[in-house]
Amino acid sequence: MEAKLTELKARLQEVNDLDMAGAVLGWDQATYMPPGGAEARGRQMATLGRLSHEKFTSDEVGQLLEDLKGYEAGRPYDANDAGLIRVTRREYERRVKVPAAWVGRFAEHSAASYQAWTVARPANDFAAVRPNLEKTLDLSRELANYFPGYQHIADPLIDFSDYGMKAESVRALFAELRAALRPIMQAITAHPPADDSCLMQVYPEAAQLAFGAEIIKAYGYDFNRGRQDKTHHPFMTKFSLGDVRITTRVKEHDLAEALFSTLHEAGHAMYEQGIDRAYEGTPLANGTSAGVHESQSRLWENVVGRSRALWQHFYPKLQAAFPQQLSGVPLETFYRAINKVQKSLIRTDADEVTYNLHVMLRLDFELDMLDGKLAVRDLPEAWHERYDSDLGVTAPNDSDGVLQDVHWFAGTIGGAFQGYTLGNILGAQFYAAALKARPEIPDEVAQGQFGTLHGWLTEKVYQPGSKYTAAEVVERATGGPLAIGPYISYLRNKYGELYEL
């Protein structure tokens, strides 16, 4: 049995090597590759994706998993070996249903689609990517249909990123959240929006990047096992547990853009850097779900990164970095500026209260497109209508409408967005549990120290990687299932104080 386990691990390591090589190509494509490299790059990534898929879904891996059933059953549930076999089997049973040809076609299509999007968004040219998106929808439906027996066609796609969730459970949760958010939003938006003009001065790029790096170093992001580069749409990627990279984009007229995207991506990266090194090269060496991943980016970006406590320590340093721009701006003005709540057009720039509305309408669009209730050609119009009715704003174009997010141009339609709101909910829930266990955390944050919080999260959330499901991680870390209560309390306390609600 030990020999079979060793063989399984060796095969998984090869699969992982192919996947990580593909990730390097993807990172390069989104950072430094010249446009002329696009076509070959798409093919290269597709080849690697197909090889990885074939190796992982081979009869040999299937046989090893079969042979190891007894071994797994004889080990405790939380033993690493049992976890490895369990998680590999779940992944195997899922991926073996998807033909390698689909994987190759989808990888090639995604690379072309992404490249087209990088041109179409600045050109406000939805028509140019409409055929790409139509093909993405076809391929997404095809993928879902390899998993018959679903209630909603989006269910398998949601399950891939947030294991255990379905269209119906996400819809029910979102309805509950929408009802709880409504009075908070109404109360806040009854006040005039905060003045954030202090953020909209000229802030030179190099100094912005240096300041963001200073905060994430203090957070515990390890630059010896990571680096930061510039891109169109910020993301985190990983080539091994020893190389977890982040990207950002800088606007010299908007201090918040690079700063908070840096804190966000660092949250994702610290999760990956915190995974038990013993899992390297196996399916356990990944964050467990999109929602739990996003909980970490949102926790470090918002709950900590937009807290008064953090800026008590860092604001004087920010003023020293940008004396011309900020020496005359009091901390309170800055704090209110970075927590401005306003119904707006762009999801990634949205404040933490209205953010979820952006996610909810995208989920509905995904479900409707997959269902056949909404055609791709009608999407731009539907987008504008829904922004008007839900957020009271209308984009002047499609660049800031349906073209704003990369997701549908680099992945499937279905399963792409629910994780963001799950992350907001879970980020607050994990933070509340951390405070309960370690009440000294806010005082430490106010001194620019994050070791206790980072340590608690590492132990409870990061180290296990994918050994536990999202539901298990939440239960183990917080003592209960996913619940919106802590998130709503967090918003009420924070914005209640800011707006005297």
Contact positions vs Zn ion (CB under 5 A): 297
Distance CA 428, CA 133 (A): 34
Q: Give the residue at shortest CB distance from Zn ion.
A: 297
Long-range contacts of 203-208 (CB under 8 A, 24+ apart): 203/252, 203/253, 203/254, 203/255, 203/322, 203/325, 204/252, 205/250, 205/252, 205/258, 207/321, 207/322, 208/250, 208/252, 208/255, 208/258, 208/259
Q: Residue 89 or 268: which CB sits closer to Zn ion?
A: 268
> Which of 265, 294, 301, 352 is flagged as catalytic?
265
The tokens 């999202």 sit on which residue? 470
**Least distance between Zn ion and beta carbon 233 (Å):** 11
The burial class, CB within 10 Å (0-12 / 13-18 / 19+), for 109 is middle
Q: Residue 235 or 365: which CB sits closer to Zn ion?
A: 235
**Least distance between Zn ion and beta carbon 294 (Å):** 5
Distance CA 252, CA 256 (A): 10
Q: Residue 421 or 478: which CB sits closer to Zn ion?
A: 421
Q: Residue 114 or 315: which CB sits closer to Zn ion?
A: 114
Alpha helices in 190-239 (DSSP H): 205-219
Q: Which residues contact 393 (CB under 8 A, 6 or more apart)?
A: 343, 344, 345, 387
Q: 495 to each of 48, 188, 192, 330, 353, how far by Cα in Å? A: 48, 8, 14, 19, 9
Q: Residue 279 or 420: which CB sits closer to Zn ion?
A: 420
Residue 93: active-site member? no
Q: Residue 297 or 325: which CB sits closer to Zn ion?
A: 297
Alpha helices in 162-246 (DSSP H): 167-189, 205-219
**Least distance between Zn ion and beta carbon 497 (Å):** 27
Distance CA 360, CA 356 (A): 6
**Least distance between Zn ion and beta carbon 263 (Å):** 11
Distance CA 52, CA 48 (A): 6
* Partner residues linked to 187 by β-bridges: none
**Least distance between Zn ion and beta carbon 77 (Å):** 30
Angle, helix 290-298 to helix 255-273, in steps of 10 degrees: 130
**Least distance between Zn ion and beta carbon 374 (Å):** 25
**Least distance between Zn ion and beta carbon 383 (Å):** 21
Pairing relationship of beta strands 236-240 and 243-248 according to DSSP bridges:
antiparallel
Which three-class secondary structure state does DSSP give residue 273?
A: helix
Q: Residue 289 or 297: which CB sits closer to Zn ion?
A: 297
Torsion 401-405-409-415 (CA) sign: negative
Q: Are 310 and 446 in contact (CB under 8 A)?
A: yes
**Least distance between Zn ion and beta carbon 272 (Å):** 12
Q: Residue 57 or 286: which CB sits closer to Zn ion?
A: 286
Catalytically annotated residues: 265
